[in-house]
Amino acid sequence: MDNSGKLNPQKVVVVGAGPVGALAALYAAKRGDEVHVYELRDDLRQSSTIPLNFTKSINLALSERGIHSMRQSHCDDLLQHVLKETIPMHARMIHGRRKNGSLYEESQAYDANGRHIRAVDRASLNKRLLETSGKMPNVTLHFNHKLIGADFDKRTAWFEEQSRTKTTGHAQNPTQDGVGDMEPERPKEFEVKYDLLIGADGAHSAVRRHMMKYARVNYTQEYIDTLWCEFQIKPKSPDGSFAIDPNHLHIWPAGSFMFIAIPSLDKSFTCTLFAPASHFSSISANPQQTLPQFFHKYFPGVSPDLIPPMELVNQFYENPHLPLISIKCRPYHYKSSVVILGDAAHAMVPFYGQGMNAGLEDVRVLFEILDRQGVYDHRDMTGKNARMQAREAALDAYTNQRAPDAAAINDLALRNYEEMRSSVQSPLYKIRKWMEEA
């Protein structure tokens, strides 16, 4: 506390500027903290940087869980801007083929009262969050900075400024047009002191890895036997309209695998094939021949109607075939020094559409608890270590409240894979639905 009785700002270091880190920076800045965000990659606001796991920007389902967390940041216009860049999805559309060979579509509403989820472009949401937090005078964003170590007892973290290519000779002067010799710049390492470090550095979190040397963290991870690959349905030619209904999340269920499509603002659809690794291997042996047949058999109406066979094959070649990881751990914190949020704490398979939503909710829950424990209330901060103690109690309460909740969402996500790829089309599903509605 300073002489005027005002609380000194805490120095908060956020590692990772994905959606969760960007929102956490905003919440801390709104409470007067001095916030420094360190992000491994380039500035998303100025480039078309793609998140590590994605080839293009992907579309996500944004739900009330995530929306409410942005609303509670109390940043004028943030939510308004974000929602303007979304497309409501009121129902899922199940695509299939009847026994007589004819195709059908069945719309299954998400909510009896008309509530809906929204399709959002992950990169534009991330960019909007970063732009909003970056405008706060007490937030500094450091891009191309990688966390390489931490001493959580001494509240010290080490970062490496990622090497960029340095030009020597006259090309160092950007006004001259010659090309100098290129040599890699040696990465610079430096030390950062902080009061609270927030690890929002994704599924392969370095913060979590270092925290495990300090806290007795129970940790499990599981790669499910499913890979995913992105495809795209282009807008209809020649009028450029949506090729299928834009207010649905489209699913082609096929028992042990599925194909889904989520609308984009440019009137295309970002699609994902989820299938066991063995299917990817057998298709990969000769995609030209097998992929169009595979789609014809299992995903009726997709190719050639929505994606020409050549494009299907090219996209299968060009886009990576990526794994899906599910992570649970506990605790999420160490003393009053560090806490992990988002995928760093609970990466989940995407079938419940809640990974990012749950991460954004982490931020809201964490700061509500910090507020409740009086971390930002100067009246309670009389002793020297009072604030640290309040912070430790808050982080403790956070782990106790949040870890079981996140683990439950994680389990639901795993279970919903069965629902999406299979149960949505089973007669039992229909009977159950009919009974619910009766």
Q: How far apart are CA 292 and CA 312, in angstroms?
A: 7
Q: How far apart are CA 108 and CA 405, in angstroms?
A: 27
Among 27, 38, 194, 417, interactor with ligand FAD by CB under 6 A: 38
Cα Rg for the chain, rounded, in angstroms? Answer: 24
Output the smallest distance, CB 139 to ligand FAD, in A: 16
How is residue 59 written in tokens? 């579309």
Q: Where are the beta strands (DSSP E) in 122-247?
A: 139-142, 145-151, 156-161, 165-167, 182-184, 188-193, 196-199, 218-233
Q: How far apart are CA 242 and CA 239, in angstroms?
A: 9
Output the smallest distance, CB 297 to ligand FAD, in A: 23
Q: How far apart are CA 39 and CA 16, in angstroms?
A: 5
Q: Does 152 bind ligand FAD (CB under 6 A)?
A: no
Closer CB to ligand FAD, residue 61 or residue 366?
61
Q: Does 40 bind ligand FAD (CB under 6 A)?
A: yes
* Part of the chain binding ligand FAD (CB under 6 A), chosen from 58-66, 162-170, 309-317, 414-422: 58-66
CB neighbours of residue 230 within 10 Å: 20
Q: Does 356 bind ligand FAD (CB under 6 A)?
A: yes
Output the smallest distance, CB 4 to ligand FAD, in A: 36
- At 107, which helix (H) or strand (E)? strand 103-109
Among 13, 26, 60, 78, interactor with ligand FAD by CB under 6 A: 60
Output the smallest distance, CB 156 to ligand FAD, in A: 15
Among 86, 264, 336, 354, interactor with ligand FAD by CB under 6 A: 354
* Collapsed DSSP state (helix, strand, coil) of residue 257: coil
Indicate if the alpha-carbon torsion angle 132, 137, 138, 144 is positive or negative: positive
* Part of the chain binding ligand FAD (CB under 6 A), chosen from 15-23, 108-116, 289-297, 388-396: 15-23
Output the smallest distance, CB 70 to ligand FAD, in A: 13
Q: Count residues contacting ligand FAD (CB under 6 A)?
A: 34
Q: Where are the beta strands (DSSP E) in 300-411?
A: 322-330, 333-334, 338-340
Output the smallest distance, CB 391 to ligand FAD, in A: 21
Q: How far apart are CA 249 and CA 228, in angstroms?
A: 17
CB neighbours of residue 298 within 10 Å: 20
Distances (CA, A) of 163 to 143, 160, 189: 12, 9, 11
Closer CB to ligand FAD, residue 7 or residue 70?
70
Closer CB to ligand FAD, residue 72 or residue 354?
354
How is residue 18 written in tokens? 């994905």
Positions in 164-203 near ligand FAD (CB under 6 A): 200-202
* Collapsed DSSP state (helix, strand, coil) of residue 330: strand
Q: How far apart are CA 50 and CA 56, in angstroms?
A: 6
Positions in 209-238 near ligand FAD (CB under 6 A): 228
Q: How far apart are CA 12 and CA 363, in angstroms?
A: 14
Positions in 112-151 near ligand FAD (CB under 6 A): 146-147
Count of all residues that appear for the chain in the document:
438
Closer CB to ligand FAD, residue 123 or residue 215?
123
Among 14, 17, 139, 275, interactor with ligand FAD by CB under 6 A: 17
Q: Does 253 bind ligand FAD (CB under 6 A)?
A: no
* Part of the chain binding ligand FAD (CB under 6 A), chosen from 36-44, 208-216, 328-336, 404-412: 36-44
Closer CB to ligand FAD, residue 15 or residue 254?
15
Closer CB to ligand FAD, residue 150 or residue 375?
150
Instruction: Name the site residues for ligand FAD (rule: CB under 6 A).
Output: 15-21, 38-41, 51-53, 58, 60-61, 146-147, 200-202, 206, 228, 272, 342-343, 350, 353-357, 359
